[in-house]
A and B are shown apart, each in its own frame.
Chain A
Amino acid sequence: MIPKLVIRRIGVGLLMLWLVSVLVFASIHVLPGDAAKLLLGHDVTPEALEGLTKELGLDRSVWTQYWDWMGGLLTGNWGDSLVSPISVGELVRMRMANTFLLAMFTMVIVAPLSVTVGIYSATRNGRPIDGGISVLTLCLSSLPGFVIGIVFIYTFSTNVLRIVPAASILDPQRSVFGQLDLLIAPTITAALMMLPYPTRMVRAAMIDVLQSDYVEMARLKGLPERTVVFRHALRNCLAPIVQALGLTLLFLLGGIIVVEAVFSFPGIGLTLVQATNQRDGPVLQTVTVLLAATCVLVNLISDLGVLALTPRMRARL
């Protein structure tokens, strides 16, 4: 039953990935300009353009380019960037590793904090503290990410205090783990940006569950409130919590472009933007497909998690 579900989901996922590959490939060819012309800039002569076009493989037919790229993608031969002397594989490895690390650190803050605050808020529903927390999360979610980032830089890096580096310019020659201080600012900023959604989801789910019959039953039985909340209520709203956190993680794994721009963080988001601006086909196409695959995978795991937590759904399968 579950294996059948998993196989079906993977099947659909692969189909979607193929669609994504076609879409992103088509979109890059629809945009005006190409990598050769943009690389040559204004010193373009017909001979130089022809030479560079051939060298970059842009003179092949659209179909050939697509097939060559797909073939390479599936066999692990991802080719090189068109505009920089770096292989797509290396670029992806570096940038996605950075984004992954940032995502993990952010989740380490967001997950426990959003669950705790959400539960606390729900149990104090209607009281001033709940209202206060709601206002706070609303403010946070309406602040643009770059405002949060710049205020952070102003406060902790440049003007009020100078205890945290302002830019996350990671040295590629050293291990990231030796430069963790460069991740403090983007992590906290990303965490602040991501907190509102799961917090409010947790709060809503918990409020919902706290009004259900079995919770009422547990209370009538005379159980202490703590047991009611953590033993009975929480278990029943884990599913929406997992979903909310899963979506948050997914968002983080795609690279938050605003955070990357404000802190010059070498993540996958900016890589995509730059590749688009430079019409760097191999990088843009491969990274997009990889991110889509990540999306499919994380969604699948999240849904399996929900299934595991919801016996009723399993029975229906």
Chain B
Amino acid sequence: MPTPIPRRGFLAAGAGLLGAAALGACGVSNDGAGSGAADSAGTSVAGGTAAAGKPKKGGVLRIGSLGGDKDSIDPTYSSTDIDQQRGQNLYDSLTQLSGELPYHFDEGLAESIELGAGAMSATVRLREGVEFHHGKTLASDDLIFTIQRILDPDRPGRAAKALAAVDPANIETIDDRTVKFNFKTPDSMFPKRFGSASASILPIDFDPENPVGTGPFKYDSFTAGSRSVFKRYENYWRDDGPYVDELQIISFSDDTSRTSALLAGQVDALDGIDPALLNQIGDGFQQLITKSGFYQPITMRVDLPPFNDVRVRQAFRLMVDRPAMVEQAYSGFAEVANDVPNPADPGFPSDLPQREQDIDQAKSLLKQAGVEGMTVTLTTAPENGNLVNSAEVFAQHAKAAGVTINIDNLTPSAYDAKFTEWPLTNGYWAAGIIGTTYASRFIKGAGANDSHWDDPEGLALYNQMLGMTDQGKQDELANELLTRFYDMGPDVVHTYKNNVDAYSSKLTGFEPFSSNGWSLGAWRYRLVSFV
């Protein structure tokens, strides 16, 4: 049965969403100026490289995406990958997450975002002369409307959690292009909270039936569950695209069917293909392999025995054979990780010794905790590709340490309905930086805190970060915060999963999105053209 779209994302960071983002960019890289395809993924390169010079205009770009069962064209409430895909093309946000490491943001609709003293406010200066699809020029009233819409208490948008520090009743219009936001609590992360579709800037007369944005493509038609059609917007404010005349995003419910459609020439690109299907993609097609910090950890509830004992958690971290996990659970499309998330964070502690499987030490720790030979149930679901695979592989490794793990494989909806209640589970989380993901997953009471993590010292560090405007000091605090997970965290972060896309060799312009792992170069189709 078709797997539902991964929904667990951190729209919070204006970035973190699905897909895999990672350490070194690797994969087929075709930059927009049309140089030949540099292919390090070992796939066939179609005869005829792109012509030098400006990309060709024209053509209809058809993307085959999984999903459509809960489509939305209203970006404020977007919840799935396919919504994010639409958002990246119809709209812009204040900033744009760059695909390259180190993790940073490029300019978006904001010319500048400056934090006030103590990070208690932020002044946003909007770019001049940007026009919405219906002709209105971007101005302060649009920005204020958008933020207040997101923070509407009766119907909060997806980015409401991320922007929680903003006081919607205390927004000052400095002039027609400048807005000052005042915060209820310090938030030095504010400039990093944009970039996702959920933080798209909408015009003050936004109508979800006829959506209008500033993006490189404008709305033509949208049929929920079927397809969306967008046309090139000639008046786009950036000069690096768009090139294709028309963009069609076509929904599929099944991955195999989607792959057949690519092979039969009915679509031109697939975002996020199951690596098991890759051997079907041969001549005339390219693969785009993106490595990022996207991870599928084993998560333990730290408020319940036996996982409230840090020795047991540490034992679990020592049980897993990481290279085997890469090969068996991910067919090689993953990188070994070191029990710390967010490798793209500038403060990532890369000097921690690489943890390796140590069954003896694991057994000893379990014995000390008095739970040797324990039996426990791991709840999982066939979501996001390999979730069940990695659970099963982990169970195999655990056997060597005398731990019996029974896998409870639920349907995705049954699993999601109670996902914060399972004592032992595995999940999937976006890459990103700790400053914008901590609040979603690691603060007591947070909606996505499936481990029930509650660390007062960590929280104090995080709050310090929020008040810290100096980037260097912010990175130091991030380093401390992330290091805490290495020895006592709730997760076994065994690997970072790669993302693989496939597209026709008639296309060029896809760049691997290593910061975040978003598919097809963050679905930024303005950069794509036909050769």
> Contact residues of A with B, CB < 8 Å?
31-34, 37-45, 47-48, 51-52, 55, 81, 83-86, 91, 94, 150, 153, 157-159, 162, 165-167, 169-173, 260-264, 266, 270, 273-274, 277-279
Pick 17 A–B contacts, CB within 8 A, sort by A.
A32-B413, A40-B447, A42-B9, A48-B156, A51-B154, A83-B69, A85-B72, A162-B265, A166-B266, A167-B64, A167-B261, A167-B264, A171-B227, A173-B223, A261-B2, A274-B225, A279-B413
Residue in A37, A48, A172, A261 whose beta carbon sits within 8 Å of that of B227 in the complex? A172
Residue in B70, B153, B256 whose beta carbon sits within 8 Å of that of A262 in the complex? B256
Complex Cα spacing A264 to B257, Å: 6
Residue in B8, B64, B69 whose beta carbon sits within 8 Å of that of A41 in the complex? B8
The reply to whether A84 and B413 form a contact with Cβ atoms under 8 Å apart is no
The reply to whether B266 and A33 form a contact with Cβ atoms under 8 Å apart is no
The reply to whether A262 and B413 form a contact with Cβ atoms under 8 Å apart is no
**For A47, what are the chain B residues with a Cβ–Cβ distance below 8 Å?**
153, 156
Most chain B CB atoms below 10 A, which of A43, A159, A167: A43
The reply to whether A261 and B1 form a contact with Cβ atoms under 8 Å apart is yes
Query: Does B361 count as interface, using CB distance less than 8 angstroms?
Result: no
A85-B72, A171-B227, A277-B412 known; A40-B79 Cβ under 8 A = yes
A85-B224, A171-B227, A261-B253 known; A33-B417 Cβ under 8 A = yes
**For A85, what are the chain B residues with a Cβ–Cβ distance below 8 Å?**
71-74, 208, 224
Query: Does B210 count as interface, using CB distance less than 8 angstroms?
Result: no
Residue in B154, B161, B227 whose beta carbon sits within 8 Å of that of A169 in the complex? B227
Residue in A32, A264, A274 whose beta carbon sits within 8 Å of that of B414 in the complex? A32
The reply to whether B156 and A277 form a contact with Cβ atoms under 8 Å apart is no
Interface size class of B (residues with CB under 8 A): 35 or more
**For B252, what are the chain A residues with a Cβ–Cβ distance below 8 Å?**
167, 169, 264
Complex Cα spacing A285 to B162, Å: 36
Most chain A CB atoms below 10 A, which of B260, B261, B414: B260
The reply to whether A169 and B225 form a contact with Cβ atoms under 8 Å apart is no
Complex Cα spacing A159 to B161, Å: 49
Shortest Cβ distance from A164 into B: residue:
B264
A167-B266, A172-B223 known; A42-B448 Cβ under 8 A = yes
Residue in A81, A150, A273, A279 whose beta carbon sits within 8 Å of that of B256 in the complex? A150
Return A205 CB to nearest CB of chain B, in Å. 37
**For A55, what are the chain B residues with a Cβ–Cβ distance below 8 Å?**
155
A158-B263, A167-B260, A167-B264 known; A38-B161 Cβ under 8 A = no
The reply to whether A51 and B156 form a contact with Cβ atoms under 8 Å apart is yes
Most chain B CB atoms below 10 A, which of A37, A42, A47, A264: A42
**For B9, what are the chain A residues with a Cβ–Cβ distance below 8 Å?**
41-43
Within B226-268, the residues touching A (CB, 8 Å) are 226-227, 229, 250, 252-254, 256-258, 260-261, 263-267
**For A169, what are the chain B residues with a Cβ–Cβ distance below 8 Å?**
226-227, 250, 252, 261, 266-267
The reply to whether B265 and A43 form a contact with Cβ atoms under 8 Å apart is no
**For B160, what are the chain A residues with a Cβ–Cβ distance below 8 Å?**
45, 48
**For A279, what are the chain B residues with a Cβ–Cβ distance below 8 Å?**
413
Q: Given A165-B266, A166-B264, 10 more contacts at CB 8 Å?
A: A32-B413, A37-B416, A42-B440, A45-B156, A45-B447, A169-B267, A171-B226, A270-B253, A277-B69, A277-B413
The reply to whether B263 and A166 form a contact with Cβ atoms under 8 Å apart is yes
The reply to whether B260 and A166 form a contact with Cβ atoms under 8 Å apart is yes
Complex Cα spacing A162 to B261, Å: 11
Residue in A31, A84, A170 whose beta carbon sits within 8 Å of that of B70 in the complex? A84
**For B226, what are the chain A residues with a Cβ–Cβ distance below 8 Å?**
94, 169-172, 266
Complex Cα spacing A94 to B418, Å: 34
Shortest Cβ distance from A83 into B: residue:
B70
**Binary interface profile of B, 330-353, with partner A (CB < 8 Å = 1, else 0)?**
000000000000000000000000
**For A40, what are the chain B residues with a Cβ–Cβ distance below 8 Å?**
79, 447
Return B415 CB to nearest CB of chain A, in Å. 9
Query: Does B56 count as interface, using CB distance less than 8 angstroms?
Result: no
The reply to whether B419 and A42 form a contact with Cβ atoms under 8 Å apart is yes
Within B1-47, the residues touching A (CB, 8 Å) are 1-2, 4, 7-9, 11-12
Residue in A45, A83, A84, A166 whose beta carbon sits within 8 Å of that of B261 in the complex? A166
**For A172, what are the chain B residues with a Cβ–Cβ distance below 8 Å?**
223, 226-227
Shortest Cβ distance from A279 into B: residue:
B413
**For B74, what are the chain A residues with a Cβ–Cβ distance below 8 Å?**
85
Query: Does B158 count as interface, using CB distance less than 8 angstroms?
Result: yes
**For A270, what are the chain B residues with a Cβ–Cβ distance below 8 Å?**
253
Return B89 CB to nearest CB of chain A, in Å. 18
**For B173, what are the chain A residues with a Cβ–Cβ distance below 8 Å?**
none
Complex Cα spacing A170 to B252, Å: 11
Query: Does B377 count as interface, using CB distance less than 8 angstroms?
Result: no
Return A28 CB to nearest CB of chain B, in Å. 11
**For A42, what are the chain B residues with a Cβ–Cβ distance below 8 Å?**
7-9, 419, 440, 447-448, 450
**Binary interface profile of B, 398-431, with partner A (CB < 8 Å = 1, else 0)?**
0000000000000111101111000000000000
Return B196 CB to nearest CB of chain A, in Å. 11
Query: Does B170 count as interface, using CB distance less than 8 angstroms?
Result: no
Query: Does B471 count as interface, using CB distance less than 8 angstroms?
Result: no
A33-B416, A42-B419, A48-B160 known; A277-B411 Cβ under 8 A = yes
Within B139-154, the residues touching A (CB, 8 Å) are 153-154
**For B12, what are the chain A residues with a Cβ–Cβ distance below 8 Å?**
43
Return B268 CB to nearest CB of chain A, in Å. 13
**For A34, what are the chain B residues with a Cβ–Cβ distance below 8 Å?**
417
Query: Does B221 count as interface, using CB distance less than 8 angstroms?
Result: yes
Complex Cα spacing A83 to B257, Å: 24
**For A165, what are the chain B residues with a Cβ–Cβ distance below 8 Å?**
261, 264, 266
Complex Cα spacing A110 to B221, Å: 37
**For A31, what are the chain B residues with a Cβ–Cβ distance below 8 Å?**
413-414
